[in-house]
Amino acid sequence: MSYKRPTPQELLERIQTEFDISLPNSDARLRRTVEAVLARILVIASHDLNGFLEYISEQILVDTADAEYLERHSSIWGITRKSATKAIGTVDFVGADTIVIPAGTILQRSDNVQYVTDGDVTIVTGVGSGTVTALIAGSEGNTNVNTKLNIISPISGIQNEVTVATGGLTGGTDKETDDALRARIIARIQQPPNGGSKDDYIKWAKEVAGVTRVWVYPEQLGSGTVSVTFVMDDAVSIIPTTSDVTAVQNYIDGDTKKPVTADVTVFAPTPINIDFNITINPNTVAVQTAIKAEIEDLFKREASPGGTLYLSRIQEAISIASGEFDHTLNSPSANTVMNYGEMPIVGNFTWS
């Protein structure tokens, strides 16, 4: 039976009843008796103690523990909360030839997110490309290609506006949330290491910053092979970049991870856009937004490389959207079946 914290009134009634039993002819229910005063004092003390018991009863279990105790649970199981990482990438400067943009030059996005050049950049034939790193760790540092940044301290001969190059600024991830850490601890408890089982590879991949969902294909490329693919739901694009794939590959290939005989291949899934044509009633922006959110949530829960997205599940997601009264799903019109390595992505919406 779970612990139920008694209310102050329940404690008071228990203590008053105990006074009646233990001290006949006393009356702890009268306002100005000594027993009444003692009863209220005991209620205050007992209420604090019961509050502490309630708090501890939650902290001793992983599924209800607060952040501090959750990290203590994780340390016992050898799991470390993933730290926030900084976005990195290439930007293009435009200016006069031979001018050097020094390392440490600060660039700023329109919303005041700042980046710093990692090394000197020399202008050649009017253009110079250099690597920059976000000053603050987190997903807010991720930036799409062709986004404009500005040099904080203008440099003579260099255009103040800088362009994010192909590939964008990526790799920025937020500190792992309590829910995500909790899920990894519970998975570790429920799925103990098995010398290289599918669950082991999923656990190892999720230990890399930014990785949220993982799929494993034993012997997909032949005997002794293990293929691993993953997505990063909190990044600009859920499809991992080449550097993300390399990071997971190197981590799993570590001396203490995969079995020595396993031939592991980590790869990025191939994105397949799924477009939607939906007739809705009422056709308002609010309802459109709600339906889109429900479908995105469905994809996050059920979409997988090589899996199937069922039409009935999409219909259900639309139906439960806030404000939706009636709808007709014009497209897709059948279950969507993915081939090996293909990852369905929410595409464009057409409303009517």
Is residue 196 a contact partner of residue 262, using CB atoms and an 8 Å limit? Answer: yes
| pLDDT confidence bin for 314, thresholds 50/70/90 | very high
Query: What is the rounded average pLDDT of the residues 291-318?
Result: 93
Closest CA to 264 of 307, 239, 229, 231: 229
pLDDT for the residue 158: 94
DSSP one-letter string for 72-120: HHHHHTT--PPPPB--EEEEEEEBSTT-EE-TT-EEE-TTS-EEEESS-
pLDDT for residue 24 is more than 70 = yes
| pLDDT confidence bin for 2, thresholds 50/70/90 | low
| pLDDT confidence bin for 35, thresholds 50/70/90 | confident
Query: What is the rounded average pLDDT of the residues 9-20?
Result: 86
Average pLDDT, the chain: 91
CA separation for the pair 46, 225 (Å, rounded): 61
pLDDT for the residue 281: 94
pLDDT for the residue 253: 87
Per-residue model confidence as pLDDT tens digits over 177-209 = 999 999 999 999 998 887 888 889 999 999 999
Does this model's pTM top 0.95?
Answer: no
pLDDT for residue 1 is more than 70 = no
Query: What is the rounded average pLDDT of the residues 289-317?
Result: 93
Per-residue model confidence as pLDDT tens digits over 201-234 = 999 999 999 999 999 999 989 998 999 999 999 8
pLDDT for the residue 255: 64
Tally DSSP H helices, then E strands, for the chain. 8, 16
pLDDT for the residue 63: 93
Q: How many residues does the chain have?
A: 352
Closest CA to 5 of 59, 42, 58, 61: 58
DSSP one-letter string for 226-289: EEEEEE-TTSSSSS--HHHHHHHHHHHTSTTSS-TT-EEEEEPPEEEEEEEEEEEES--HHHHH
pLDDT for the residue 346: 93
pLDDT for residue 100 is more than 70 = yes
